[in-house]
Structure 1
């Protein structure tokens, strides 16, 4: 019962039978808080309300009578554990200090312990009520006279006994006139006589308790005597049995001596046999080869561990006919081959595959005994899967390489380490008009009457294998017998070794037509370059003529505004002419050195306005390696022309000194930033770049749009125009 021994009583120790004790049960309540509101319960009509009230009234009256007149007490079990309290027991029982306990003797007050224990012991023994009177109990610093009565009872006839312990206060009992006179005399006794009386009572109770213990001890001794007599009789029976066993032991020893002699002989033979078996087993296990031994009747005799998987065997298959086994190797006529080996004493060997496609070399040999007699066959399997796959892969590689060589449209030649032709593809024979008999096994320098015997080519080919070099883009121009003059491009490299053989693959490409086309293209480009140079020169001259005409016209115009307009047009034409001048002097007509172009353009503008603005200087911060095409250069030149001209005309007043600066930077691979500014007068705030009336600024906006760029204006003490555009668009 473990930790629940207080809930069960032992009924039969031998068979471990227990019965449930009547014990107080602690009520457990699980109070669960719920979130949903409680529903109101509609009470129905009360049934038999009057009868229920009569029963409750009767129970309440009985309870009052019992509490007033019945003695207080407690119900305890056989272990003196209190199961139930009846009435107010605090004058007689009190919880003991320390661990909580319901043991009646631990809770008894001073003066009750000895008599209470004696009374309960007598009640257990006699199974009858026992009463003790005149006990002095200390309660609330005073002694009270108490009577106790222990009444045994059993709720069930077969159950354990329980005891009802009742306490009576002697001072509350009804007295006769004789009792009152006795009490008056008792009161007159001295305090010493009271203590003597109390000690006598305790001594009498102790004597009774000791007498009961002595009686129990005598009963126990009597039981022990009976048990001792039974043990003695059992010992006599065991002694007789021992004598019989001694006789049988002597007979067995004689038999064992005979068997020992026989066992020694068998042991020596078994050792020899085990040694031979161990040697054979270790030998077979150390050989990493699947081996199967068959008897003359084709029954399985022995096999190695590796043979289990290939022949689909288990250890219990030893002794089974081999015909009942379905091996995992694909040999349809295996049994006839084994019988042929046994009959003819020949050795059979063939290549086989298992069900997974693994290759093995199957060898069947005759099994010979020590007397040189044939008594079966030995089957072994050698793993040749890697060798087989290597051979297949090598053959496939050869076929694959040969197919590639034959498919390639360029002439290919395979040479050995002596530079002799091993083979060539179809394109080689067709291109040079030779046959395989004329080429194969010949030195490459002797083929076609020594037309390949070129000193530099010989030197390069002879150095390839010793120095592990390559022949790349070696050009040969030669007159061949069958095809005439041809320009050939040769490339050669080593082929991975096949065994000890080293080979060279020589590829020949006919580039005669390519060289002719390249020569034609070069001549055509030279002619176009001369033509473009002449076109740029003529365009520049024509623009210079137009600029000169405008200059002559401006000298004859009296109106200053008209003269200024002509000069602006002249500067624009000069900006475009300057592009063509730089282009026809350049080696590349599609790209323009932008830094050189801007420097020349600004220098020209300052030279044309030097008389009017002598105190204005220029500052150029241009990245030198910027190159753009001519179309964008013309647009940028016109923008710089307009902005510099505008700065010279309107940025400085009353012969004011200052600076005009131009900054050109490359922000990224294709992104350029062009800044044109001055430190003169601020740009008028009323001018809106989105709504311009000036022709020059309108032209600038249109040019920026053609560049697919952006224009920004800064007015912080300086007037700066920033143009950003992409050169790749």
Structure 2
């Protein structure tokens, strides 16, 4: 069985002084009148005080009186009386001709027997550098937020100007269509007009998403609605349908995908149905993500491919589709749909194994007209 010998008040006080003096933290030992009994060298060095100018003085007389604050006095007096303790009290030390310092103070009374003199230990932590760092980070965050807001305003203005410019270009092209005497020239101008309108639609849709990923179902649905509205004369005879899953795509990739859909849909609307009286015509745009990548198909039930491939001309649209597919690291395959034509644009992720599984799809049936 072990026995502990009680420490006398005198020895306890001496022990407290020794611990404070040898501490590597800024510490003060105070009596019940808040007179400094001992101070650590760290405290004196931290606040540019000489040890002989500290011990024996009231805490509130240290330096030029910068510690003499009513609230601090009240807290320490309450601690000395045993009514409270100071835990993490934030104190701003203000000294003439010197920067303010932010301190965290902790004070507790030492436990002795009833006859022992009251002693308080006051610990001081300087968090000025930490607060300065926090302020610098906050200022940088606020600056970044301001720059982002400014960028968003400039981007909105740019989008507005681009939209206006595209509308002006589309109007000029339509005026040229009306003035041209050559049917071939009018066809080319109409093609250009449709492309400009489609690009304007792409620009509007992407502007509404800012830098966020684009949900493909509403994106392709709105795009095809715009194409159909400008090119389908009788929606009771010809429909443009969109099927897509819940995939998201980056803005850059969605631009390329949208332009591919635009070219293939315009091509089908122009060439797949030469008989204006044909009914139950449809063009189907479908997108599906797979574990190995994604597949886009644009198919129709029109007149189909020419029997003699040698007579097929590679126009501007074909070149555009191939170039855009290259940007997406995708391949383009054209097959006979019997009836009609099927164009498949597929992307296989690097190192992925092809799989036929795909997420559940949401279908949007779209019937639009002029």
Greater Rg over alpha carbons, structure: 1
Secondary structure in 2 aligned to 1:517?
helix
Q: Is 1:699 matched with 2:320?
A: yes
- What's the RMSD between the two structures over aligned residues? 4.3
CA shift for structure 1 position 413: 9.1
Say which SS state the counterpart of residue 606 (structure 1) adopts: helix
Q: Which residues in structure 2 correspond to 1:104-123 (within 5 Å)? A: none
How do 1:517-596 and structure 2 match up within 5 A? 517-586=140-209, 588-589=210-211, 591-596=213-218
Give yes or no for contact 1:540–1:580 (8 Å, CA) kept in 2. Answer: yes
Aligned 8 A contact 1:547 1:573 in 2? yes
SS in 2 for 1:645: helix
Q: Deviations over 1:292-320 (max 9, x none)?
A: xxxxxxxxxxxxxxxxxxxxxxxxxxxxx
TM-score, normalization by structure 1:
0.31
Displacement of 1:532: 1.0
CA deviations 1:67-86 (Å, max 9, x no partner) are xxxxxxxxxxxxxxxxxxxx
Q: CA offset at residue 644 of structure 1?
A: 0.6
Instruction: State the partner residue of 1:619.
Output: 241
Counterpart residue number, 1:662:
285
CA distance in 2, matches of 1:552, 1:726: 44
The residue that corresponds to 2:274 in the other structure is 653
Q: CA deviation at 1:704?
A: 1.2
* Counterpart secondary structure, 2:323: helix
Unaligned runs of 5+ in 1: 1-405, 407-411, 415-422, 454-473, 491-505
Question: Could you say which residue in structure 2 is the equivalent of 1:481?
Answer: 94
Q: CA deviation at 1:539?
A: 0.9
Q: Is the 8 A contact 1:620 1:661 kept in 2?
A: yes
Decide whether the 8 Å contact of 1:626 with 1:666 is kept in 2. no
Q: Distance in 1 between matches of 2:41 and 2:305?
A: 80
Determine if contact 2:299/2:341 at 8 Å carries over to the other structure. yes
Residue of 229, 232, 239 corresponding to 1:607: 229
Separation in 2 of the partners of 1:568 and 1:477? 72
TM-score, normalised by the number of residues in structure 2: 0.58
Q: Deviation of residue 642 (structure 1)?
A: 1.2
Q: 1:673 Cα deviation (Å)?
A: 2.2
Query: 2:93 touches 2:102 (CA, 8 Å); kept in 1?
Result: no
CA contact (8 A) 2:213 2:248 kept: no
SS at match of 2:294: strand
Indicate the SS of the match to 2:314: coil
State the Cα distance separating 1:692 from its structure 2 match.
5.1
CA distance in 1, matches of 2:283, 2:92: 69
Pair 1:677 & 2:299 matched:
yes
The residue matched to 2:287 in structure 1 has which SS? strand
Aligned twin of 1:638? 259
Post-superposition offset of 1:477: 9.7
CA distance in 2, matches of 1:566, 1:486: 73
What secondary structure sits across from 1:674 in the alignment? Answer: strand
In the TM superposition, residue 582 of structure 1 has moved relative to its aligned partner by: 2.5
* Greater RCO structure (CA 8 Å; 6+ sep): 2
Task: Kindly indicate whether the alpha-carbon contact (under 8 Å) linking 1:534 and 1:584 is maintained by their aligned counterparts in 2.
Answer: no
Between the aligned partners of 1:696 and 1:546, the Cα distance in structure 2 is 19
Alpha-carbon contact 2:296-2:345 (below 8 Å) kept: yes
Rate the CA distance shift 1:575–1:609 in 2: closer, same or farther, 3 A.
Answer: closer
The 1:661–1:429 alpha-carbon spacing in structure 2 relative to 1, beyond 3 Å, is farther
Contact 1:635 1:703 in 2 (8 A): yes
Asked if 1 retains the 8 angstrom alpha-carbon contact of 2:297 and 2:343, the reply is: yes
- Measure the CA separation in 2 of the matches of 1:527 and 1:609: 39
Give per-residue Cα distances to partners, 1:111-140, cap 9 Å, x unaligned: xxxxxxxxxxxxxxxxxxxxxxxxxxxxxx
Unaligned runs of 5+ in 2: 1-23, 28-38, 60-65, 73-87, 105-124, 351-370
Q: Measured at CA, do residues 481 and 635 of structure 1 come closer, stay the same or move farther in structure 2, by a change above 3 Å? A: same
* Helix, strand or coil at the partner of 1:681: coil
Residue 333 of structure 2 corresponds to 712
Judge conservation of contact 1:477–1:486 (CA < 8 Å) in 2. no
Aligned to 1:391: none
Give the Cα–Cα distance (whole angstroms) in 1 for the partners of residues 70 and 269 of structure 2: 77
Name the structure 2 match of 1:364. Answer: none
